[in-house]
Every structure is written in C-alpha cells, then in structure tokens.
Structure 1
Amino acid sequence: MPSMSRSSLNDLTAFVAVATHRSFRRAADEIGTAPSTLSHAMRALEERMGVRLLNRTTRSVSPTEAGFQLLGRLQPALASLDEALDSVAGFRGNVAGTVRINAPRLVAGLLVRGVLQQMAERHPDVIVDIVVEGRLIDIVSSGFDAGVRLLGSVPKDMIAVPLARALTFICVASPAYLDRFGDPKTPEELQRHHCIGHRMPSGKLYRWEFERAGQELVIEANGPVVLDDEELMVEAAIEDLGVAYVADWAAEAALSGGRLRKVLTAWMPAAEEVAVYYPGHRAVPPALRAFLDVVKDLRKKEP
C-alpha cells in the first residue's frame, strides 16, 4: 500500500470534491486550481491505487463503485482530521475572521435570536455575514462557508448541525380584531376572516397548512393584504388587519406584550428542525468551527 504523503492527502481531498460535485470545473473552482490539473491528479491517484475511481465522459464525471466506497470512507475521515487540527486553534489566541452564511428569512431569525448573541460574547473578533434570500442555492459555488435550511432539505453530501430551536408556525391576530370578528375555532372558519397573505420568493401565495390528530388541511388564505416579510405580517396583524400565519420567533414580542393573541393552536403543524450545514470534504476555517461549536453548545443546553 502506498504511504500517505502530503501530496496524496491533497489528492484525496480533491477526489472528494470531484466525486461530490461530479464536475472537474466546479471542483477546481472550489480548490483553486485548473480543471486539467485536477483531471491529471485524479488519473495519477487512480494509477497509484491501482483502481478506477471515476467514470468520465465528454460531458460528465461520476464515481465508480470503488469511488463511491472510497468517498463514503473519506468524507467522515477528512471531517475528523479538520476537527483535530481545529481543536488546537484556541492556542493561537482569539479566533478571528468572517463566516459567510446563506439562509432563508424564515430561519435566519432563529440565528439572530440565539446563536449571534453567543457568538458576539465568545468570539468578538468573528464577523458573521448572513445573506438572506428565498431560493435554495449551492453554497459552495456561491462562496458561502455554510447555509441554514430545514433539516430534511439539507443536501446529502453536506454535514448538518441542528439548531437548538426548531421552526414553529403560529396563527395570530390582535385582541381588537378578535373582539370584532371572533376567534376562529377551525381552519375552515378562516374563510370568513381577513387573512394576511404571504407571498413566497417564487411569487406564489403560501397556502396555510394545518394538522390535528393526523388530519391535514391546506387553506387558501384570502384577505386585503399580501406581504413577503414575517415581521411586516406581524405588524399588519397588530394593526388589526387580520389573522397572520407566521414563524413564532417573529411574533414573540407582540405576544408577550399583549398586542397579539394566538388562535387555532390545536391545529398548528409540528415544529420542524433547522440545521446549519457545510461541506464535509473541505477544511473548516476556525471562524466557522467557532460558529458551529456555539450551535452545538446551545443544542446541548436545550431542555
């Protein structure tokens, strides 16, 4: 068996990038080399190992059966190596740098209300740069260190670290509105209420989802106002414009201050876990590692 050298470790890291992206061009962009150089390196790796790892055509590249097996072993091994190297980062002094994170607005609020406060206290020299957008993107090709999504939609080739707090939806309205129109007892009763519509990034109107005792209902929410921002929907509800269907974090202050009341609580769907995710085949920068450690520590403290 060939000995593990620094160059072969680099080649194995490059193989993981190629096998994950299934593209020499995208893998080369990530690593910072030319696609032709990467292709030659993969052929040299295959020659040293004595087995073909990649199927190549003029338009695509994909792992062979041996390549898939090697990929499955290398991803956790390289992640463990990164963790081992980062474990001594604290001896270099304060962690510094910038962490670029992509997140939908719905889940970005969970970071602001939990992780960012702890990051500011523990690592004041780390800048957390969050870009909020609605569409799902490839965080690697777009230059992000990590992303945030619902746990069930995290790509399989990424490492996911669940947040301490899940995403929960609630229906809210102002006391004055409910005094005038009454509390809806079932989702069907919303048809006679003013509902504050939610326009999704795709441009479509969100259909309100409900669930109770295994029964699922989807309601077309009709009303005089349509918005695309959670906090604006909360403000519209405070102004007596109708019932809003929002993430619970957006309405916390208004609920605790008595400006809004929850309705249809027995019909709301179960909370969905949210996770920070990042590529497992590349080195984890100290600033990102510090961010992930805060996420993990908050998760451990969850009651």
Structure 2
Amino acid sequence: MLKEMTELTEIGRVRCFDGWQLRYRHHSPVLGCDMVFSVYLPPQAENTHLPHLYWLSGLTCDDQNFVTKAGAQRYAAEHGVIIIAPDTSPRGDGVPDTEAWDFAQGAGFYLNATQQPWSKNYQMESYLLNELIPLINETQPVIIHKRGIFGHSMGGHGALTLALKNHTLFQSVSAFAPICTPIHCPWGQQAFERYLGADQEKWKDYDSCELIKQHGLPWPIRVDQGLDDNFLGEQLMTESLVIACENQSHKLTLKMREGYDHSYFFIASFIGEHIAYHAQQLEG
C-alpha cells in the first residue's frame, strides 16, 4: 500500500516568492478515490528540511481556495515554513454526494464516517493521519517532529479536534472562525447524524469542547474570530470554546476582530500572524 500511496503525479507548479507552489494527485486507498493536495515549498526548502503546517479548509472548499486567496506564501517564505493544503472530502463520480452545499462532497468534516453509504469513502481523519502525513514525510523536505495544523470554519473544527486527539503528532494549532461545538450547531448536527448515526455520545469524539475535557493540550490554542461573521452565534459558538478552556484551565489566545466576516478577506488579513505564531511554536 505504501508504494501505491507514494505514486504522486505533479499536476501544477508555479514560482511564488522564490519558492514553488505545487499541486499533486494520488490515489487514496483509504478514501477509495483519487485525491488532490497542494504544497508550498519556500525557497529555504531547496537546501534544508523545514517545519511544516497542514491547512484544513472549510465547507464547499477544495485545496485551491487557501492557495489562491489567503496570501500565505509570502509569510511561509519569510519564516521558512512548508504548507500542505489537502482537499476537504473524497470526490469523484463513485463517491456518494447530495445537492446540499454543506454536506457530503466538499464537506467531509475531517471525521471517519460509520454510516452507509458514507462510510465507504468518508474517512478523512484516517486519510490525513495515516495516509497523507506519511506521504508528506516520505516525499517532501519536512522536519517530521515539527508539524502544526490550522484551518478555517469546518477546517478550524478539524484542526482543533485532530490536534486535541494527537498532540504528539502535532506541536501547534490555530484556527480562523472554527465550528467550536458541532454537536450543538445545525451544520454539525446534520453532518454527524448522517456520518456517525443517532448515538450522540459518539459525536463527542469530534467536538473540540468535549475533547478539551478529555485530552487538553500541552501548548496553547490560538483562535481568530470576526465579530461581523454571520455564522458566529448559530454555527460557530466561540463562547463555548472559551468556557471549555476556562473550565479546564487551558490556555486560549482568542482574537475577536471587529468588522471582519467569515470570508478569505478575514483570513488574508491575519494569516501572517498565524504563520508567525506557528513558526515560533515549532522552533523548539
């Protein structure tokens, strides 16, 4: 299987801030379909291995939204950090889908589905942890023990939950406008019931606020949230994360940004701060 995993096809290469923005396709046995992901290699990668970050995007996105809209390459080049941006779900004609924009293809929620027909393909947690990370370790000039994760909205949820459950695998985490407690919001409830079934106890394994109670982290969480975000109250529920961290005495650095919404204009405004934050966390 490892041989099959490492058969990458390069489908894009663009010079950017003296580094390279790359795009690859490979077959994923875990997801049962072909997958695409992007990698930014800053100029320092030509001579040495570097710390690296995984970016997880939100609902309806693929690997290209972050690459083309966030403006992250400038800061990755400045700090000497590699950034990997996977897709948000399995895709293809044989992958189950719906007409809903917030469920199925483009909305994998970074979990392992247990319910049919979703369980055959929607295994995003296993794909990221057991397939993509080993693939990146094998094929890219990364320092294996210097790995961070961050994301936006659904991807912020994914970054937080994966870090909380795997804090020996990741050494830093941050999020823009994350879905903080999906078991209590419409986006999460819709996805979890269909992916995971009716037993809500099983949902807690993919809820950041619940995971903070169980696991915690040996390092801080950083979150940026726009105060003009239309999804803040009903879907994102940032206050629940604040309360969960306070109850567990876990350090949370929360930046509430006046006038900012849920868009990539918000992300582009503060992505430099996030990359600098991760670079500092990964220095040790």
Question: What's the TM-score once normalised by structure 1's chain length?
Answer: 0.26
**Structure of greater Rg:** 1
Q: Which has the higher contact order (CA 8 A, sep 6+)?
A: 1
Question: What's the TM-score once normalised by structure 2's chain length?
Answer: 0.27
Bigger helix fraction: 1
